[in-house]
């Protein structure tokens, strides 16, 4: 179980490292308005991820392990992870962070525009809930975890862990992304991070495919 947890936790965290719409929303808000404003955006994103996590993990119980429907969902999830993994590898380094650095004058303007904390929370929530990658990714991970006969209590641990990691990571991004040195350093290592993320996701998908093939061949 510990090996499974480390594999899933690593795949989930590495996927977070690759910038997407949520990442750039947090970065933009932090650079232009400060990390305290961005913190509410982070909370909204985390709650949206929590909705997907809850829906995906509770949906697993609707399918009997080993059934044709469950295997089909697992293979569909594997297909998605393979697709995302090859995208990470293929377009590693294509995302630019330094171009999002704003001037101090723009930051002052943004501060006056984003005074409503609930609006900032709503921005983050809508960004996370409307991101199709989030839904597909969590459903994929949930089907993979469910296929291993994971106990319901451990699924709760997985869900709480993923929610906490999303919130913590986005908060760290909000706090540190405004620093020029951090921004430049992360931009340099980003291609390697994206390639590693792709390899991990592909390996995770292939491992599940192999397990299902072996079970069907018995």
- Answer yes or no: are the C-beta atoms of 153 and 67 closer than 8 Å: no
Which among 193, 186, 169, 190 is positioned nearest to 26, based on CA atoms? 169
Taking the whole predicted model, whether its pTM rises above 0.75 is answered as no
Which among 128, 114, 199 is positioned nearest to 166, based on CA atoms? 128
Distance CA 71, CA 203 (A): 18
Region 176-205: mean pLDDT is 76
CB atoms within 10 A of CB 187: 16
CA torsion through residues 118, 120, 124, 126, sign = positive
Give residue 76's pLDDT.
Answer: 75
Q: Is 4 a residue whose pLDDT tops 70?
A: no
Q: Is 6 a residue whose pLDDT tops 80?
A: no
Which among 186, 157, 164, 174 is positioned nearest to 97, based on CA atoms? 186
Distance CA 177, CA 185 (A): 10
CA torsion through residues 208, 210, 213, 215, sign = negative
């Amino acid at each position: 179980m510990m090996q499974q947890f480390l594999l899933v936790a690593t795949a989930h965290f590495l996927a977070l490292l690759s910038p997407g719409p949520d990442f750039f929303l947090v970065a933009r808000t932090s650079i232009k308005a400060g990390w305290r404003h961005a913190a509410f955006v982070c909370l909204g994103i985390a709650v949206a991820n929590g909705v997907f996590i809850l829906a995906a993990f509770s949906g697993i119980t609707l399918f009997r392990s080993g059934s044709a429907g469950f295997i089909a969902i697992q293979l569909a999830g594997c297909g998605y992870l393979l697709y995302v993994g090859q995208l990470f590898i293929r377009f590693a380094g294509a995302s630019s962070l330094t171009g999002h650095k704003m001037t101090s004058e723009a930051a002052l303007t943004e501060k006056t525009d984003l005074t409503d904390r609930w609006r900032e929370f709503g921005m983050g929530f809508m960004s996370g809930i409307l991101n199709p990658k989030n839904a597909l990714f969590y459903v994929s991970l949930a089907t993979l975890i469910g296929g291993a006969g994971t106990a319901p209590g451990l699924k709760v641990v997985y869900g709480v862990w993923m929610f906490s990691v999303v919130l913590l990571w986005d908060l760290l991004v909000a706090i540190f992304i405004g620093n020029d040195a951090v921004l430049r350093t992360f931009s340099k290592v980003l291609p390697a991070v994206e390639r590693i993320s792709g390899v991990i996701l592909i390996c995770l998908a292939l491992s599940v495919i192999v397990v299902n093939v072996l079970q069907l061949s018995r």
